[in-house]
Amino acid sequence: MSEKLSPIVELKDITKVFPGVVANDRISIKFYPGEVHALLGENGAGKTTLMNILYGLYPPDGGQIFVRGRPVDVKSPTDALSQGIGMVHQHFMLVPRFTVAENIILGSEPRRHRYFLDMDKGVADVEDLANRYGLKVDPRAKIQDISVGMQQRVEILKALYRGAEVLILDEPTAVLTPQEVEELKEITDNLARQGKAIIFITHKLQEVMAMSHRITVIRSGRVVGTVSTQTTSPVELARMMVGRDVVLKVDKEPVKTGSVLLRMEDVWADDDRKLPALRGVNLDVRAGEIVGIAGVDGNGQRELAEVLVGVRPVERGSIYLRQQEITGLSVRARKDLGLGHIPEDRQRLGMILDFSLGENAVLGKHHRPPFTKGLVYDSAEVRNYGERLLNSYDVRSGGVDVPGRSLSGGNQQKVVVGREIDSNPDLLIAAQPTRGLDVGAIEFVHRRLLEQRAAGKGILLISLELEELLSLSDRIAVIYEGKIIAQVDPKVVTEEELGLLMTGGQLEKTGVQGA
């Protein structure tokens, strides 16, 4: 970025200390108008904490924030917005039953005669704003009826409507199709051309390379360096992030499949609203293979995992583990038969946050020896096992006795992944196994999954990361509106073609089979 420009935001010596952890250690970064500036770092590196300070969610313990050269105190998101700083969170904060326009103007509604809501002006204002920034939306559409990519546009427009000149995007591509990612790139490029400063937090190195102008890498709470995207590479960035060389390309042996471990026959299931979520799913997974499930979020992936592990009832159809029908069996019975599960929501489904890390490490096998002997719970065995698991999976914590809620999201994920893989299941349902993990941890989890595959285990990999699906899977089944509509060969299909299938499109090429 040209030094002729003045930074719109400058963070100088920002420090934040939590009990036993220095999250930000005298961090200094300058953000300029007209650029997309990416923040990279491992789990717990401090990048999200830093942005929460900038957006007023945390107070800093030291340092100063400057906006347009003036020192400011940002004590709340309201203060941040008053300084022109907006944030789009990874999990959208929209009211599903409200329209696009109602969500955008909520809290800042135009009034007629001081007291009466002027909805017509609100819709017109949203249309003008969308046209100005090239963010095409239907102001009258309800949030519950539009795509995830369109919802993200609404979140961006919410911030712009409130005058944001600096826009923080937290993991903005996590739930987008490749086509929507490309659209997001066009949006950020356009916003930068109009003088906005975009701060882009992500763990996806290829997207950082494609979407940013400059990149700041944070490790262990400190800035490692800031580099120009044009003069760096994914390999260099990975090395800066973790302090060592990282293997970015998955290298796997040719598949050697065995007998069928999982078979689903015409499985139907309802969602929480009692509407069909799975519609006649037929699917199998063999020993020694990884079968990927690709789909836009909300097309039945969650319900698919839940019927397999036994937390959602099957309305019609049958599920077999090896040759034994498990359709009506309990979660514990399925686990005892060799079914493992990495759930998509680590906090709600994967851990008990008030339990210690040791107790979380043995969940699912806590009722068996050596952790329980007769009616006696052996806390020493639990601690020993927990310590070994934390070390094996590089879980960064305050020790085996701290509660699960004290960990960062990425380290919570490591506990869940480690517990399930270490249980050595014959069939592993892995739902978003690398969600929230940094590049080093992703490499580690991928290696463990491939070790399970090489040992003759079966893995059903449900992921929103297309690069992950294409590199790990031996087959990819595409789910759309609760149906498996195609199975593709990952060595043949491209990300763009897979994205087309995920939205209900069709391909005419070798390597694509109808469901």
For the chain, the structural domain boundaries read 9-242, 260-352+424-514
The structure tokens listed for 108 are 């800042």
Q: Strand, helix or coil at 11?
A: strand
Between strands 372-373 and 427-431, the pairing is: unpaired
What pLDDT sits at residue 2? 46
Which residue shows structure tokens 């546009």?
A: 153
Q: What is the CATH number of domain 260-352+424-514?
A: 3.40.50.300
What pLDDT sits at residue 410? 75
What pLDDT sits at residue 174? 67
The structure tokens listed for 42 are 């491992």
| Whether the Cβ atoms of residue 437 and residue 382 lie closer than 8 Å to each other | no
Q: By C-alpha distance, which of 41, 142, 69, 52 is closest to 101? A: 142
Q: Strand, helix or coil at 489?
A: coil
What pLDDT sits at residue 512? 57
What pLDDT sits at residue 510? 45
Q: By C-alpha distance, which of 486, 474, 482, 478 is closest to 514? A: 486
User: In the chain, count of helices (H) and strands (E)?
Assistant: 16, 25
Residue type at position 153 = R
Between strands 62-67 and 9-18, the pairing is: antiparallel
What pLDDT sits at residue 436? 67
Count other C-beta atoms under 10 Å from residue 36's C-beta.
23
Residue type at position 340 = G
**How far apart, in whole angstroms, are the C-alpha atoms of residue 171 and residue 254?**
33
- State which H helix or E strand residue 216 sits in: strand 214-219
Q: What is the pTM of this model?
A: 0.69
Contacts of 457 (CB under 8 A, 6+ apart): 287, 288, 424, 425, 426, 427, 428
Count other C-beta atoms under 10 Å from residue 374's C-beta.
6
| Whether the Cβ atoms of residue 495 and residue 467 lie closer than 8 Å to each other | yes
Q: By C-alpha distance, which of 340, 343, 305 is closest to 452? A: 340
- Give alpha helix (H) positions in 343-476: 357-361, 379-392, 409-422, 439-454, 466-472
Q: Find out if CATH 3.40.50.300 is the number for domain 9-242.
A: yes
How many CA atoms, within 13 angstroms, populate the side-chain half-sphere of residue 308? 33
Is it true that 9-242 and 260-352+424-514 share their CATH fold?
yes
pLDDT tens for the chain, residues 1 to 515: 545 679 999 999 999 998 778 899 999 999 999 999 999 887 678 888 999 999 999 999 999 999 999 999 999 999 999 999 999 887 788 999 999 999 999 988 888 877 788 899 999 999 999 999 888 899 999 998 888 788 989 999 999 999 999 999 988 876 676 777 888 899 999 999 999 999 998 777 888 899 999 999 998 899 999 999 999 998 899 888 877 776 666 778 888 899 999 999 999 999 988 989 999 999 999 999 999 999 987 899 999 999 999 999 999 999 999 999 999 999 999 999 999 999 988 888 899 999 999 999 999 888 888 999 888 889 999 999 999 999 988 888 888 999 998 887 778 888 999 999 999 999 999 998 987 677 777 888 898 999 999 999 999 999 988 888 999 999 999 999 999 999 999 999 988 899 889 988 776 654 555 55
Length of the chain: 515
The structure tokens listed for 251 are 């290298």
Q: By C-alpha distance, which of 393, 388, 433, 430 is closest to 411? A: 393
